[in-house]
Every structure is written in C-alpha cells, then in structure tokens.
A = this chain, B = another copy of it.
Amino acid sequence: MLTQRAKYGLRAMCILAADTTGRPTLPIHELAERGHIPQKFLEAILLDLRRHGFLTSRRGKAGGYALARAAAEIPVSEVIRALDGPLAPIPCASLTAYQPCTDCPDPPSCEIRALMRQVRDATARILDGTSLAQLAAEGETPEESAKENA
C-alpha cells in the first residue's frame, strides 16, 4: 500500500518540481494549500524528505523548501522507499531490504517468494524508470485520460 504519507510527499515534491514562479523556495503552508494536505502532517513528511537528501530548506522569513536535485534525477522509487519502505510486497522478496520469513524452511525454493519477486521486479521497473520530472509532467499530457475511470 502507498500510504498517505508517501502520497502527500510525492504530491508536494511534484508541486516543487512543477513550480514556475522562479522563487528559490516554497513555504510549507503553500505546499499544503496547493496540495490539499494537512499542514502539520506535511511538515513532518518534508522534514523526513530533507533528512533523506531529497530536499533543501531555508529557515526564517522567506524560507521554505526546494528540491535538492533536478527533478529528472529523482526516481519516484527512491521517494517511496524513503517514506514507505521497500517496494516488495513481502520482505523476503526485497532486493534492497531482504529479510527471510521466520516460518519459511527454505527461502530459495519458496514458490510464493519467487512470485512476489516477479511482482517486485515489475513494480521496481516502473518506479525506477519514472523520475519526479516525468511524474510532474504527466498531468500535462492528457493522452491517457480517455481510457480512465472506475
């Protein structure tokens, strides 16, 4: 599951990536407002993203947040890993955070693990291959919007 946390974090970073105002930073209250995100909650999320090196910040009046790197250099997968943890549906199928099941007699021969590894790989392929820049741009290219809904 993508938590609210990760969803809010991505949304805020998209706003930063798509910002055209030319201002060096955007304050939390503006990100919260534009992203429909509870401000206090967003505060904690942005702090976390800064500690992970995705954002830079300025304190004091006229302070705020900005992306630490170019949006094209930030894979969505990294942001999600930072906020929600490993992509794999089960720890024994994770590459970046492998943890064997305590109840599994032999992980290498576990059928469920092999299948979940496939799911993980497919997910990682998509999310590693999508940068924040692409994500932020997606809203502007309404190609897919036709075959959407329910």
Do A114 and B138 touch (CB < 8 A)? Answer: yes
A118-150 contacts to B (CB < 8 Å): 118-119, 122-123, 125-127, 130, 135-136, 138-139, 142, 144-145, 148-150
Q: Residue on B with the closest CB to A94?
A: B150
Let me know if A44 is at the binding interface, CB within 8 A.
no
Find chain B residues with CB under 8 A from A144 CB. 114
- Which interface residue of A109, A119, A126, A145 has the most chain B CB atoms within 10 A? A119
Do B37 and A89 touch (CB < 8 A)? Answer: no
Do A111 and B139 touch (CB < 8 A)? Answer: yes
Do A111 and B138 touch (CB < 8 A)? Answer: yes
- Digitize A29-43: 1 where CB-to-B-CB distance is under 8 Å, 0 elsewhere: 000000011000000
CA distance A52 to B127 in the complex (A): 33
Do B114 and A123 touch (CB < 8 A)? Answer: no
**Chain B: minimal CB distance from A118 (Å):** 5
A60-115 contacts to B (CB < 8 Å): 76, 89-90, 95, 98, 101, 103-105, 107-112, 114-115
Do A142 and B1 touch (CB < 8 A)? Answer: no
Chain A residues within CB distance 8 Å of chain B: 1-2, 7, 10-11, 14, 36-37, 76, 89-90, 95, 98, 101, 103-105, 107-112, 114-116, 118-119, 122-123, 125-127, 130, 135-136, 138-139, 142, 144-145, 148-150
